[in-house]
Amino acid sequence: MKKMTKIDIDCTCLDLFEEHNKSYYFNDCAILKKCIKNGILKKCDSVCIYGKENCGKTLLLTEILADLTAVKELKGMNCKVVYLDCDLSFNYKNYENIINKKFDKYIIKNNKNNNICTYNDLKKVYGDNSFSNIYYIQILNPGHLIVVLNTLKNLLEGKNIFIEALFIDSLSFWNFCKYDKINFFSDNNYVQRKPSDLLEYAFTSYFKIKENISISIFLYQIIN
């Protein structure tokens, strides 16, 4: 009789289960910990942050961005993300300040080395490496946004890039745009379009790429 060889088979498919249920933990933002499921987002979650003008929406978004993109040494998630800045309101200095606070909290307090020059060099390296996780794109008009979303969809489908989160700041951008300046919808430049029509085009493009990203975060301004 032929000798049987024992083979161990993992029938749990645990790796697939864990990938599908991947979690993102936001530990450093008190607002997120209170408002978003104890600061935990699951894969395929979408978050919409809304409020009146100048109430701090973009700053909160920047905190989320910093938690996602900060390197592991700063207790970040070291994720690649795409940030679409429709309002042109992103402030790098705010991002840098948040990263520097993480450095002070997790590196300086836990290290007895008092060499300031070493700290400053290391802080710059960690800051640069964290920011390099962001694909930052300024959006100039609705047609531009749709072109960017379609291009992103093609890149993700072709496995040319890997991203885990998409930020759009903000959707209220559509309320102030009356014309599409890109020759995208017709042969005529400056063709007037309803904001609702343009938003529908954008969301159609977004849903085509959603399956290739983990989480999506939007801002929306409440207009009086």
pLDDT tens digit at each of 224 positions of the chain:
555 554 343 444 444 444 456 889 998 888 888 887 778 888 888 888 888 888 888 999 999 999 999 999 999 999 999 999 988 999 999 999 999 999 999 998 877 666 767 888 999 999 999 999 999 999 987 778 888 988 998 898 887 788 999 999 987 766 655 444 444 444 455 555 565 666 677 777 777 788 788 888 887 776 55
**What are the domain boundaries of the chain?**
20-221
Side chain identity at 73, as an amino acid letter? E
Per-residue pLDDT, 130: 98
- Closest Cα partner for 211 from 170, 171, 166? 166
pLDDT at 78: 97
pTM for the model stands at 0.80
The highest-level CATH class for domain 20-221 is alpha beta
Could you write out the DSSP letters of every residue in the chain? -PPPPP-----S-HHHHHHHT-EEE--S-HHHHHHSGGGEEETT-EEEEEESTTSSHHHHHHHHHHHHHS-GGGT-----EEEEESSS---HHHHHHHHHHHHIIIIITT-----HHHHHHHHHHHHHHHHTTEEEEE--SHHHHHHHHHHHHHHHHTTS---SEEEEE-GGGGGG--EE-STTSSSSTTEE--HHHHHHHHHHHHHHHGGG-SEEEEEEE---
Let me know: does 110 contact 102? Beta carbons within 8 Å: no
